[in-house]
Each structure stands twice: as C-alpha cells, then as structure tokens.
A = this chain, B = another copy of it.
Amino acid sequence: MTGTIDARLTELGITLPDAPMPAANYVPYVVSGDMVFISGQLPIRGGEMLTGKVGSEVSADDAQEAARLCGMALIAQLRAACGGDLDKVASVVKLTGFVNGAPDFTEHPKVVNGCSDLMVEVFGDKGRHARAAVGSGSLPFNVQVEIEGIFRLA
C-alpha cells in the first residue's frame, strides 16, 4: 500500500535521497511532542555538494535548484522521523533558508523559493509555511544554501 504523499512523489518523478546521518554529536532531527525539528540540510547532487557564492560565482537560478535539493533532503529526514509514512505530516511549519550570498546579493527569496515550491508540490496546502530567507557571510563546505525546518505531525 502506498501513501498519498508517496504517490504524489512518484507522480512528480521525485526520488528522495537517503537521509544522511551526521558524523558529529548531533542528529538529523528531533521529535518533540508533535513537532519535528530538522537540522540544516545541504544541497547534494550525485554525491557532490553544490558550492559557491551566490550572486558572484553562482546565479540565483542555480542556487534555487540547490535550495530544492535541500528541500529533498528535508523531506527525506522527515520521512525517517515519520517512520517512513509521510502521510503523518500535518504541516510544514517554518523554514529558514541561509543563502551563501555575495555581499551585494539581494535575491534570497527567489533562491529559497526552490525549497518552498517543493513543499507545496509535495504536501499541497499543508506545505504552506512561515519562512525566513537570509544571507550568510559563509556556509559549511562553501555550499550555496543551507535550509532547516520545523514540521508538525498529525
């Protein structure tokens, strides 16, 4: 039996990545009551992190795709937090997108839309979330964007 959200993923042609375990003394997610707090996720494609300063070395369009990959990783972690059943997700509550912008970069909302749009594609109206899109002077491994999330379970 396939869940509604799994069916939507298939329909969208989305294959979630594995939910990677951090190597350090933190975990990919913590469930606290009905809230799930997911650690900041990085953009990985084919095993490679997408790197570069956005606005100087990388375009906002490319970084938008990177933000979508962060979203895929968030959903993969969320699936693990749900014991595999994404139909247990009641809502996407809050996303915070940290963009590795050049000092004069201004299109953070456009970049983080890559993740926001994915949430609504996958979860429909439950995917509409509060969010902040901000710049970071630097990011781990020089990735283009890092996105963390808070979700609510039914």
| B152 x A32 contact (CB < 8 A) | yes
A63 to chain B, nearest CB (A): 12
Of the residues B102, B127, B134, contact of A136 by C-beta under 8 Å? B134
| A138 x B24 contact (CB < 8 A) | no
User: How many of these chains are in the complex?
Assistant: 3
Within 8 A of B (CB), among A105-136: 105-109, 113, 116-117, 119-120, 127-136
**Beyond A98-B132, A98-B134, A140-B108, is A119–B25 a contact (Cβ under 8 Å)?**
yes
Which residues from chain B contact A100 at a C-beta distance below 8 Å? Answer: 135
**12 residue pairs from A and B, CB less than 8 Å apart:** A30-B93, A33-B152, A37-B93, A40-B132, A40-B134, A98-B132, A100-B135, A104-B138, A104-B142, A106-B138, A108-B138, A132-B146
Distance A10 CA – B91 CA, assembled complex (angstroms): 36
Distance A137 CA – B40 CA, assembled complex (angstroms): 18
| A25 x B113 contact (CB < 8 A) | yes
Interface size for A (C-beta < 8 A) is: 59
A-side residues, CB < 8 A to B, are 24-30, 32-35, 37-40, 53, 55, 91, 93-96, 98-109, 113, 116-117, 119-120, 127-142, 146, 148, 150, 152
